[in-house]
Amino acid sequence: MNVFFLLSSFGLAITSVAQQCSKPSGGSNMHLRDEYITKSTFEDGASVSFSCAPGYTSAGGSPQITCSAGAWSALRLKCERRNCGALPEVSRGDIEYKDGTEFGDTAVVTCRSGYMLVGQSVLRCEVQGWTGRVPTCDEVKCVTPAEIVNGRFSPKKDFYGYREVVRYSCNKGLELRGSRDLFCSEDGKFSSAAPTCVRVECKDPVIINGFWESGSRPPHKYKATVTFKCKPEYTMIGKPTVTCNIDSKWSPGLPKCTKNGNALVGNGNALVGGLTGAVVTIPILLVQNYWM
């Protein structure tokens, strides 16, 4: 005050030079309100306001600041992520929140055994709340499975519940290739494709130097077995008993009868008298007697 009066006494006037402020920037997750965005400078004494960014809400503090002598006052606004809150319960289902229920977080809905999801399984917390509609968990149902030629299945219904089983069978004289029983799985489909009915008949098996000993006689149907035996002086290589498979072939392959002494060994050499067919050289020492 003494300075003021001293200067005044000399006839000097004190003037205050107003200074403009440049466009202010807010804190994280907030922005200047639209009405101020186009301006680059602000006059001394001007006030502007900030808003929280989309997905964020005010957590208190004034959104307004004022330009004074070329500087802005402190911004007190605080912004926090929007909280979408918990989803409504899903009947016969469960909800897992990966990180929480705030902006950007996701929730995954799964159904319990025997029920299938109808709708989207993943929901996201966005600006307006959770995206999409909450899905539902409906009881698993499978539609009627495929009919098969020369066969049938039971029971016959329009829909089958979870794990319900249908059983296929073939007309007389035919065999079932594939799964006899199919069950309704959790994805609303049967566990495998429908089987087929095939006629199984294996050719009469014949082996050289061997003969039928026991088992099936023609026609040889599915799972029929035949046991062979070799003629005297012959040795069997392979299994003596074979079975007629679903593909109308004998399993394992038919055995072979090999003449004793000529059996093949692993390296392909023939056995002669129990020795491999190689030239054997036996040295002989000749001793000559001299008579005196």
pLDDT tens track, the chain, 292 positions? 333 343 344 444 444 557 999 999 988 899 999 999 999 999 999 999 999 999 999 999 999 999 999 999 999 999 999 999 999 999 999 999 989 999 999 999 999 999 999 999 999 999 999 998 999 999 999 999 999 999 999 999 999 999 999 999 999 989 999 999 999 999 899 999 999 999 999 999 999 999 999 999 999 999 999 999 999 999 999 999 999 998 899 999 999 999 998 645 444 444 443 333 444 443 433 334 333 3
Lookup: tokens for 245: 């498979």
6 φ/ψ angles, rounded to the nearest 5 degrees: -65, -45
Neighbours of 168 (CB within 10 A): 22
**pLDDT at residue 262, as a whole number:** 60
Region for residue 266 given its phi and psi (left: phi exceeds 0; alpha: psi -120 to 50; beta: otherwise)? alpha
- Residue 69: CA count within 13 A, CB half-sphere: 1
Q: Could you give the domains of the chain?
A: 19-81 (2.10.70.10), 93-139 (2.10.70.10), 141-198 (2.10.70.10), 210-276 (2.10.70.10)
Q: How far is 152 from 195, CA to CA, in rounded Å?
A: 10
Q: List beta partners, residue 68.
A: 71
